[in-house]
Amino acid sequence: MKFTVQRIQAWLVAEWLLVILMVLLPVLLWAVPTSLDGLVYLVDWKTVAALAGLMVLSRGLEVSGLIDHLGRKVLARLRSERGLAAALVMFAALLSAVVTNDVALFVTVPLTLGLARIVSLPVARLVIFQALAVNAGSALSPVGNPQNLFLWQRSGTGFMEFTLSMLPVAGAMLVLVLALVPFGFGQARLVLHATTHRPGMQRRLMITSLAAYPVFLFAVNAGFALIGAGFVIGAFALAFRNVLRGVDWPLLLVFMLMFINLGLLGQLPAVAALATTAMEWPGGAYAFGALLSQGMSNVPAAIFLAPFTHDWRALAWGVNVGGFGLAIGSLANLIALRLGRQPGIWWQFHLWSLPVFGASLALGAVLLTL
Count CB-CB contacts under 10 A for residue 34: 16
Q: What spatial distance separates the first Cα and last Cα of the chain, rounded to whole Å? A: 62
- In whole angstroms, what is the distance from residue 238 CA to residue 232 CA? 10
- Taken in order 132, 136, 138, 139, the sign of the CA dihedral is positive
Task: State the alpha helices, DSSP H only, in 141-194.
Answer: 146-155, 159-184
**pLDDT tens, residue order, the chain (370 aa):** 555 777 777 776 667 778 888 999 999 999 999 999 999 988 889 888 988 888 898 788 878 888 677 767 766 777 788 998 999 999 999 999 987 887 788 778 877 877 776 777 899 999 999 999 999 999 999 989 989 999 998 998 999 999 999 999 999 999 999 999 999 998 888 765 555 555 678 999 999 998 998 898 888 878 898 999 999 999 999 999 999 998 888 878 888 898 898 889 888 888 888 888 877 777 789 999 999 999 888 988 999 999 998 899 999 999 999 999 998 888 888 878 877 778 888 899 999 999 999 999 999 999 998 8
Q: Which amino acid is at 64?
A: S
Cα separation of 351 and 104, whole Å?
A: 23
Positive or negative, the Cα torsion across 233, 226, 299, 94?
positive
Q: Domain limits of the chain?
A: 17-191+201-369
